[in-house]
């Protein structure tokens, strides 16, 4: 999963760099508004059925019945939103500033089918097999989108590249599914709905967290006029750049859910308690130094990678990098809470943070623009993480690797000072210059982090099985 996240992130990030340099910030602002619209619309077209299907299928009973019931529910749910969107095509085009209404509906429907296929694979405890599939979408967006862009399709090229990747994901994910499609049942539909009505709320929270700021920024662009599409493009690029620090975190949280679900069904909560600190440490060892490095290199990162017009979001990038420290812990709290079949508690936490998120976005965007949007997102997600930790702690003892995290923070401060001195001596004008300074910081951090014996031991325990498995495969070859 981590390797796939690396490939996916590199592919998607390379696409962002190329499109930023070729098209500029304004067309990207239009595309990001389009994707945000699809993200928000995924809420009423799913209603938690995908996560419910993953949960029930991972339990190992009546898989074919649950799969058929999930397909039936998804097919029924998606009809009304799709019809309403088709009727509102002119308003959607006006909001997005481009003729993209019809293709939005097409991508939405295909994306829902692809999402269910991926969830079924995870429910079959075949998380690793979804890894390669996840790389398809960003690579398709890069290759097909860029080809169409140089052919003169403009912002539509980015959308068509997105569509192509979604279609491939749909086809390949369902081709790999092993569970047979049986006959739907009322009991299975009720079970999926009972779980989904709560699990949809965390899903809503993730979607709102990812896209509500872009939608509100676009609304201010059209209604108030104090935001430009270029600023929206720069804002989302800063967000996507900050996401690179979460590759390990997201790999871990995707992997642990079906396994935690199975352990919960077996009553083995002690195994969940044992894994939680091990799941948290790798993420913290990455996001903490990433935040420290971004404080020093924020402007250089945006200017060198995307172009000078994107440096307007330099403070946004710093805020989002700090927020990723919080987000790295969220998955460690939220996924176990869902896995032990307490989605209603996750729902309570998420609803609270959604309300805070929307209110803060409206108020702070009006006052501070894109910086206000970043602050609103960070504050609300911090609240969400705290509430999830509080609820989980009622059922499972939470131990976090606090000493290792504290040492990481100390080493990161030292690294930040040395990187600042280095960047003052070396003028960063090109990507090789930037890579040199970043690698210098990485080397300093790795040396410093390995000095501390508990962290060194923990890293060895985590990597030893991987190295052993790789070595055995090499020797067999």
- The pLDDT tens digits for 205-229 are 666 777 788 888 877 765 555 677 7
- What is the arithmetic mean of pLDDT over 23-49? 78
CA dihedral 253, 259, 265, 270 (to 10 degrees): -80
pLDDT at 246: 74
pLDDT in tens, 44-88: 777 778 878 887 887 777 788 888 888 888 888 888 888 888 888
Q: What does 2-22 look like in DSSP terms, one character per residue? A: HHHHHHHHHHHHHHHHHHHHH
Interval 148-165: pLDDT, tens: 888 887 778 888 888 888
For residue 69, what pLDDT is reported?
87
Domain parsing of the chain, residue ranges: 2-400
Distance CA 42, CA 115 (A): 10
Give Cα separations from 5 to 12, 54, 133, 134 (angstroms). 10, 20, 11, 8
How far is Cα 403 from Cα 361, in angstroms, rounded to an integer? Answer: 35
Query: Distance (Å, rounded) from C-alpha 42 to C-alpha 45?
Result: 5
- In this prediction, residue 371 has a pLDDT band, given cuts at 50, 70 and 90, of very high
**Mean local confidence (pLDDT), 440-446:** 91
Tens-digit pLDDT profile for residues 289-317: 999 999 999 999 999 988 888 899 999 99
Indicate the average pLDDT of the chain: 80
Q: pTM score, two decimals?
A: 0.73
Confidence at residue 436, expressed as pLDDT on a 0 to 100 scale: 92
pLDDT, residue 262, reads 65
**For the chain, what percent of residues have pLDDT higher than 70?**
84
pLDDT for 35: 80
């Amino acid at each position: 999963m981590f390797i796939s996240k690396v490939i996916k992130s590199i592919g998607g990030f390379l696409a962002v760099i190329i499109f930023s340099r070729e098209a500029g910030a304004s067309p990207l602002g239009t595309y990001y508004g389009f994707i945000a619209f699809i993200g928000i619309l995924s809420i009423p077209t799913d209603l938690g059925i995908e996560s419910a299907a993953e949960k029930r299928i991972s339990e190992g009973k009546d898989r074919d019945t649950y799969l058929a019931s999930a397909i039936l529910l998804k097919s029924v749910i998606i009809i009304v939103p799709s019809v309403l969107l088709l009727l509102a095509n002119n308003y959607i085009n006006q909001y997005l500033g481009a003729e993209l209404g019809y293709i939005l509906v097409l991508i939405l429907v295909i994306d829902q089918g692809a999402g269910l296929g991926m969830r079924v694979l995870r429910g079959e405890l075949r998380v690793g097999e979804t890894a390669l599939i996840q790389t398809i979408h960003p690579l398709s967006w890069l290759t097909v989108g860029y080809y169409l862009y140089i052919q003169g399709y403009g912002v539509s090229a980015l959308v068509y590249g997105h569509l192509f990747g979604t279609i491939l994901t749909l086809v390949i994910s369902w081709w790999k599914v092993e569970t047979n499609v049986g006959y739907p049942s009322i009991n299975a539909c009720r079970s999926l709905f009972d779980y989904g009505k709560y699990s949809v709320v965390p899903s809503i929270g993730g979607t709102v967290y990812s896209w509500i700021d872009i939608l509100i920024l676009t609304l201010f662009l059209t209604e108030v006029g104090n935001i430009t599409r270029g600023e929206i493009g720069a804002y989302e690029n800063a967000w996507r750049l900050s996401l690179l620090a979460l590759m390990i975190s997201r790999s871990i949280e995707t992997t642990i859910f079906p396994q935690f679900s199975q352990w919960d069904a077996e009553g083995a909560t002690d195994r969940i308690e044992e894994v939680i600190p091990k799941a948290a440490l790798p993420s913290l060892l990455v996001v903490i130094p990433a935040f420290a490095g971004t404080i020093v290199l924020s402007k250089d990162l945006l200017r060198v990678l995307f172009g000078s017009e994107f440096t307007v979001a330099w403070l946004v990038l710093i805020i989002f990098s700090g927020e990723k420290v919080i987000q790295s812990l969220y998955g460690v709290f939220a996924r176990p809470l869902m896995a032990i079949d307490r989605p209603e508690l996750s729902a309570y936490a998420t609803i609270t943070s959604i309300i805070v998120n929307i209110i803060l976005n409206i108020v702070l965007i009006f006052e501070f623009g894109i910086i206000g949007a970043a602050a609103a997102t960070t504050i609300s997600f911090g609240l969400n993480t705290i509430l999830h930790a509080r609820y989980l702690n009622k059922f499972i003892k939470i131990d976090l690797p606090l000493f290792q995290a504290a040492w990481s923070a100390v080493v990161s401060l030292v690294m930040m000072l040395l990187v600042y001195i280095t960047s003052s001596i070396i003028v960063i004008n090109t990507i090789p210059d930037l890579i040199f300074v970043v690698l210098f910081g990485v080397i300093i951090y790795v040396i410093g982090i390995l000095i501390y014996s508990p962290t060194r031991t923990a890293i060895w325990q985590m990597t030893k099985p991987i190295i052993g498995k790789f070595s055995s495969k090499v020797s067999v070859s």
